[in-house]
Amino acid sequence: MQDGLKLDGISIDAANRARPFITDVIALDGNRIHSIHIIGSAATDEYVPDISDINTLLVLSTMDFQMLDGIASLGKKYARKLVKSPLLMTPDYIGNSLDVFPVEFLNISLIHKTVYGEDVFASVQVSNADLRLQCERDIKAKLVGLRQGYISSMGDTKYLAEGFASSFSGYLQLFRGILRLHGNTPPVSNREVLSSLHQATGVEVDSFMFVLEHRHTRKTPTAQELKNAFTGYYRTIEQLGELVDSIVL
């Protein structure tokens, strides 16, 4: 706390990697920074040292291009330390975008640690009507993406495995939205999200559990395992699409 950062509740490894970056960002112009938040796995117990990225969200009082240039100049220094480029928003942007990105803001409100400034996400509220619309749209887009990704892989198991791993967090965000629509409080843990989704909707989540187990390993699943995973992914998303379509608010 000597540097004014509130990194309690974050793993020592994540805090040690995040602190220098956040300190450098504040040094650029602390007066323009409303708050800084750690989001994603680094804000959870599922953070894996040397594998998980550090994702941050900066809320600026006003958007400033000089500040953007300063943050961009830090990119090369921290990219090799798995510190990703931060998301940048303003309080006005957040307030005016809740109806456009309800899934994303629901997940940020659930999974974030405010390490500097005010917790602007503590009071974020998204409407179920907006959430349902985005869930329906995202499900249809993901079905198209699954088909195209499978074809584009041309049988390359490594390409397909990387596609499953890179898209996984996006599915979990969507699943939290669907759980909220079903009247459930979405869990933070990925495993608990999948278990809760199965209990609330009855859809099978075995393929997603399979990818969850493999996404942090260096092993590439077999061609048959990936084919089974694709089939399971597609059927689950298709069934969830039908469920969301049937929701009456």
**The domain containing residue 64 runs over which residues?**
12-117
Q: What is the pLDDT of residue 218?
A: 65
Whether residue 122 lies inside any domain: the answer is no
Q: What is the pLDDT of residue 189?
A: 95
Whether residue 207 lies inside any domain: the answer is yes
Contacts of 202 (CB under 8 A, 6+ apart): none
120 pLDDT band, cuts 50/70/90, is very high
Q: What is the pLDDT of residue 4?
A: 82
Rounded to an integer, the average pLDDT of 190-198 is 97
Residue 128 has pLDDT above 80, yes or no: yes
Contacts of 25 (CB under 8 A, 6+ apart): 33, 36, 58, 70, 71, 74, 86
Same domain? 103 vs 155: no
Same domain? 103 vs 135: no
Same domain? 108 vs 137: no
CA–CA gap between residue 140 and residue 138 (Å, rounded): 5
The reported pTM is 0.92
Instruction: Give the total number of structural domains in the chain.
Output: 2
Whether residue 7 lies inside any domain: the answer is no
- Percent of the chain scored above 70 by pLDDT? 98
Same domain? 39 vs 111: yes
Q: What is the pLDDT of residue 243?
A: 95
Residue 1 has pLDDT above 60, yes or no: no
Same domain? 39 vs 88: yes
Same domain? 235 vs 139: yes
Last residue of a domain, one of 69, 85, 117: 117
Same domain? 162 vs 75: no
Arithmetic mean of pLDDT over the chain? 93
100 pLDDT band, cuts 50/70/90, is very high
Last residue of a domain, one of 117, 148, 181: 117
Whether residue 174 lies inside any domain: the answer is yes
Rounded to an integer, the average pLDDT of 101-107 is 98
Residue 62, both tokens: 């006003």
Same domain? 139 vs 174: yes
Whether residue 217 lies inside any domain: the answer is yes
Render pLDDT for 41-97 as a digit per residue (tens, 0 to 9): 999 999 999 889 999 999 999 998 899 999 999 988 999 999 999 999 999 999 999
248 pLDDT band, cuts 50/70/90, is confident
Same domain? 61 vs 142: no
Same domain? 146 vs 223: yes
Whether residue 2 lies inside any domain: the answer is no
